[in-house]
Amino acid sequence: MVEALGTHDFGVVFRLAREHAGISYQRLAAECGIKPERVGALARGRGRVESYDKIAMIADALRVPGHLVGLAPRPWETTATAYPATVRRRDVLAGAVGLAVTLPDLLPPSVPTRVGAGTVVRLKERTARLRRLDDVLGGGDTYRLYATEYQRTKRVLRDSSYGESVGRELLALAAEQAQQAGWAAFDGGRERDALGLYQESRSAAEEAGAEDLARNALAYLAYQATSADSRTAATIAAHSCDAITERTPATVRALLWERCAWARAVATDAAGAEAALVEARTALDADDASAPQPAWSAWVDHAELDIMAGRCWTELKRPLRAVPFLVRGLDQFDDTHARDASLYSTWLAEAYTTAGEVEEAARVIGRALELADGVASTRPRQRIDHVVSTLALEHRSVQAVAELVERTA
């Protein structure tokens, strides 16, 4: 480690941080200001970091003392935290774990014994800030953080004193946090944990009278159930949309309807999927879509809906309808959103495969593979393996496919 730092071989540094400290390449990329695929390439021995600014940025992100990389002491260094010249690899890795606390506002704020409306507002704002980590990090990176936030709110509900209205707000917040933790668990491959969190979220939301959150918990349950029991998932998803009213915020309506569309597509109900997609787009085009939306649904926009439409039509074996939606939607996801760009590209590759555009499918899945390297999410690789297996089964004689199979072996 010391030798790698001294020679600015950050590929070795990144690889050791991943292997020994459990820090994903995507997380390193987000903090160090490097594209995820660039981090992966460096870790594989391809390329070097040469610029002073980038070396300084990486050193600060990993809390590496300046003298180890040929720099003057960094502004954050103190005598108490400076490493000796004989610093060991595990010492630097321990510093690298500090990435978790260099991200904004990760240390939980204290909560007074008596909780009032102002405290709930601050907790909601914190939850909204932390949710944005999901834009650039996978569930393997965020699950523990989100689960800790949820458990902390449960302790507040159990141990603090508050009025009836504040109690309902805290219950709704717990429901929201349980959904976020459940999503991170699902994304990180912890499906059993996700299921339990979604069920707890639904119970808390119903107790709080937070109908929109309760319906979203149902939608999450349906989404997770699609691979095991598509018919049941479609029924659950439809039920989540049953109680939508004119008071339901636009992005919540769009979110519920697009997940209903997906469940119906997996259940091979093309007409039902199309009708749900129309409802989702109508919601986003409605006048109230420009009004303030709940933080937990505000991310739903036309790009997200394009991606979902493309996924649905790919699932329904309608590639001519799928490809335009996916291409347009993917244009809105840059490389900092490596998990989503990688995952959504797999549906584009599958649509190309169905359409007989085998070389283009191989090209797209190759790009998805690059983006997925180091992402702390199980979903992109699962989808990549699925598409590569399909290509290998039907088109192994095509050179691009043979090369892809060898690359993923």
Residue 215 within any structural domain of the chain: no
Residue 138 within any structural domain of the chain: yes
What pLDDT was estimated at residue 78?
52
339 and 285 in a single domain? The answer is no
Q: Is it the case that residue 92 has pLDDT exceeding 50?
A: no
Residue 18 carries which side chain, given as an amino acid letter?
Answer: R
Mean pLDDT for the stretch of residues 17-39 = 77
What pLDDT was estimated at residue 106?
38
**pLDDT range class, residue 302, cuts 50, 70, 90:** very high
306 and 290 in a single domain? The answer is no
Residue 214 within any structural domain of the chain: no
What pLDDT was estimated at residue 301?
96
Q: Which of 227 and 81 is assigned the larger pLDDT?
A: 227
pLDDT above 90 covers a percentage of the chain that reads 61
Q: Is it the case that residue 330 has pLDDT exceeding 70?
A: yes
Domain count for the chain, please give it.
Answer: 4
**pLDDT range class, residue 82, cuts 50, 70, 90:** very low
263 and 348 in a single domain? The answer is no
Residue 29 within any structural domain of the chain: yes
Q: What angle do CA 50, 51, 52 make, to 5 degrees?
A: 120
What span, in angstroms and rounded, lies between the C-alpha atoms of 370 and 335?
10
User: 331 to each of 44, 73, 237, 338, 360, how far by Cα in Å?
Assistant: 28, 41, 28, 13, 17
What pLDDT was estimated at residue 111?
55
What span, in angstroms and rounded, lies between the C-alpha atoms of 233 and 262?
10
What span, in angstroms and rounded, lies between the C-alpha atoms of 126 and 133?
12
Residue at which a domain ends, from 246, 265, 300: 300
263 and 305 in a single domain? The answer is no
- Per the confidence metrics, is the pTM higher than 0.95? no
**Whole-number mean pLDDT of the chain?**
87
Q: Are 244 and 259 in contact (CB under 8 A)?
A: no
**pLDDT range class, residue 273, cuts 50, 70, 90:** very high
139 and 66 in a single domain? The answer is no
Count other Cβ atoms within 10 Å, centred on residue 217. 27
Range of the domain at 200: 112-209
What pLDDT was estimated at residue 9?
85
What pLDDT was estimated at residue 327?
97
**pLDDT range class, residue 263, cuts 50, 70, 90:** very high
309 and 409 in a single domain? The answer is yes
Q: Which of 12 and 395 is assigned the larger pLDDT?
A: 395
* Burial of 78 per CB tally in 10 Å (0-12, 13-18, 19+): exposed
88 and 122 in a single domain? The answer is no
pLDDT above 70 covers a percentage of the chain that reads 90
Residue 118 within any structural domain of the chain: yes
Residue at which a domain ends, from 284, 300, 316: 300
In the chain, what is the straight-line distance between the N-terminal and C-terminal CA atoms, in Å?
A: 29
What pLDDT was estimated at residue 112?
63
Most confident of 22-31, 102-111, 221-230, 262-271: 262-271
Residue 175 within any structural domain of the chain: yes
**pLDDT range class, residue 376, cuts 50, 70, 90:** confident
323 and 388 in a single domain? The answer is yes
Q: Is it the case that residue 8 has pLDDT exceeding 50?
A: yes
Residue at which a domain ends, from 80, 102, 124: 102
What pLDDT was estimated at residue 6?
74
What pLDDT was estimated at residue 53?
75
268 and 351 in a single domain? The answer is no
Q: Which of 31-40, 186-195, 332-341, 353-362 has the lowest mean pLDDT?
A: 31-40
Nearest alpha carbon to residue 28 among 96, 108, 90: 96
254 and 338 in a single domain? The answer is no
Residue 218 within any structural domain of the chain: no
Q: Is it the case that residue 210 has pLDDT exceeding 70?
A: yes
Residue 136 within any structural domain of the chain: yes
What tokens appear for 112 in the block?
């007074």
Mean pLDDT for the stretch of residues 308-316 = 98
Residue 161's beta-bridge partner residues?
A: 114
355 and 331 in a single domain? The answer is yes
Identify the CATH number of the domain in which residue 404 sits. Answer: 1.25.40.10
What pLDDT was estimated at residue 77?
63
What pLDDT was estimated at residue 395?
94
**pLDDT range class, residue 108, cuts 50, 70, 90:** very low
What span, in angstroms and rounded, lies between the C-alpha atoms of 186 and 256?
18
What span, in angstroms and rounded, lies between the C-alpha atoms of 337 and 331?
12
Q: Which of 26 and 112 is assigned the larger pLDDT?
A: 26
Mean pLDDT for the stretch of residues 248-268 = 97
What span, in angstroms and rounded, lies between the C-alpha atoms of 379 and 186?
9
267 and 238 in a single domain? The answer is yes
